[in-house]
Chain A
Amino acid sequence: MTDSAAEARIDRALVARALLGGDRRAFEQLMRRHQGMVRAQLRRLLHGDEAAADDLAQETFMLAWRKLDQFRGDAAFRTWLYRIAYSCFLQAQRRAPQAAEDADDACGQAESPAPPLDLRLDFERALQRLSDAEQAVLLHCVQLGLSHEETALVLSMPLGTVKTHAMRGKAKLKSWLSAWQADTRQESSR
């Protein structure tokens, strides 16, 4: 049995215990197993805002506790949690329209033809230049290690769109970073 299959079995057993008698300790174990990655996901989505990410993570686990009987085991428990966390994130974005507008503006800039990056533009800034959808797809597919299918489930996107965003995002990063490397080489040769 693979590690992920064993992990999934443990999660399902804990969910069953939490559901059967409202066992809070079983849910606490689930939370301890998954809080780290859920908070990492939200921190990334919120561009490093730790306090806001922790507030949303708390909201995520409260919702997960309330809706635990809706977890049917079709997907892994962590995928189910990521989906709830992403929904909480989207709702928070809607609650704060100003921040969402700023994000949209940033997204609009990212969609326009990108000027060559200068030397100070590091990988983090290159990531920020991607559209929100591309950032979200790369976060889930690559950094959180989900499959394309799981990412599609978490982000409520068609599978083809997820694959396209992943491919485009990586291609953009590659082109921007290769420009950065070329500039670095020129700078060092002077």
Chain B
Amino acid sequence: MSHSHDDPIERLLHEHFAGAVPDDGFCDRVMPHLPVRRRRRAWPLWSGLAIGTLAGAASLSSLPILRTGLRDWLDAAPTTPAALGLLLVLAAMSLLAMCWSLGESGAR
């Protein structure tokens, strides 16, 4: 793109372009035709999150490593393999959530 219009052809193209069209009531004519915006419903997202969390908890609750890790952690013994595994899973999930949030905020 050149803004200097040193090129005679570019200068001619600019001279030949009428530029922005005056409104002349265009916006007033269009505005009444805009449909009502449907607001995005939030409940499907929250229901999905709740169902997913419950299903995950239900399927993992039968695993002894989870209970052992949680118990070790609460007993102030976070160096056991079970507690470390639990910590790693939580750290990985937090990292993923942070990356997703950063990606979304960057895109906005």
Tally of contacts, chain A with chain B, CB under 8 A: 86
Q: Give the interface segment out of B29-37, B53-61, B62-70.
A: B29-37
Task: Output the nearest chain B residue to A60 by Cβ-Cβ distance.
Answer: B30
B residues in contact with A22, CB < 8 Å = 36-37, 39
* A115 contacts the other chain (CB 8 A): no
Q: For window 14-65 of chain B, which residues contact chain A by CB distance below 8 Å?
A: 14, 16-23, 26-27, 29-31, 33-37, 39-40
Q: Which of A36, A58, A177 contacts B22 (CB 8 A)?
A: A36
Chain A contact surface mostly: helix
Q: Is the CB of B14 within 8 A of A142?
A: yes
* B13 contacts the other chain (CB 8 A): yes
Q: Is the CB of A28 within 8 A of B31?
A: yes
B71: min CB distance to chain A, Å: 45
Q: Is the CB of B30 within 8 A of A58?
A: yes
A16: min CB distance to chain B, Å: 9
Q: Given the known A-B contacts A35-B21, A37-B20, are A73 and B14 also in contact in the complex, defined by CB atoms under 8 Å?
A: no
Q: For window 45-103 of chain A, which residues contact chain B by CB distance below 8 Å?
A: 54, 57-58, 61-62, 65-66, 69, 72-74
A residues in contact with B19, CB < 8 Å = 36, 40
A148: min CB distance to chain B, Å: 7
Q: Is the CB of A27 within 8 A of B9?
A: no
Task: Output the nearest chain B residue to A172 by Cβ-Cβ distance.
Answer: B9
Q: Given the known A-B contacts A69-B40, A142-B10, are A28 and B16 also in contact in the complex, defined by CB atoms under 8 Å?
A: no
Q: Is the CB of B7 within 8 A of A36?
A: no
Q: Which of A32, A37, A73, A74 contacts B27 (CB 8 A)?
A: A32
Q: Which of B1, B13, B17, B39 contacts A148 (CB 8 A)?
A: B1
Q: Which of B3, B12, B39 contacts A123 (CB 8 A)?
A: B12
Q: Which of B7, B13, B33 contacts A62 (CB 8 A)?
A: B33
Q: Is the CB of B13 within 8 A of A138?
A: yes
B residues in contact with A36, CB < 8 Å = 19-23
Interface residues on A, range: 35 or more
* A127 contacts the other chain (CB 8 A): yes
Complex CA gap A88/B30 in Å reads 16
Task: Output the nearest chain B residue to A54 by Cβ-Cβ distance.
Answer: B26
* A22-B37, A40-B19 known, 8 other contacts, Cβ within 8 Å: A27-B34, A36-B21, A65-B37, A66-B35, A72-B108, A123-B12, A145-B1, A173-B9
- Pick the 4 closest A-B CB pairs, nearest first: A36-B20, A22-B37, A143-B17, A39-B21
27 contacts across the A-B interface (CB closer than 8 A):
A24-B31, A24-B34, A32-B27, A35-B27, A36-B19, A40-B18, A40-B20, A43-B18, A43-B21, A57-B26, A57-B30, A58-B29, A58-B30, A61-B30, A61-B34, A65-B37, A72-B108, A124-B16, A127-B16, A138-B13, A142-B2, A143-B17, A145-B1, A145-B3, A146-B1, A170-B10, A177-B12
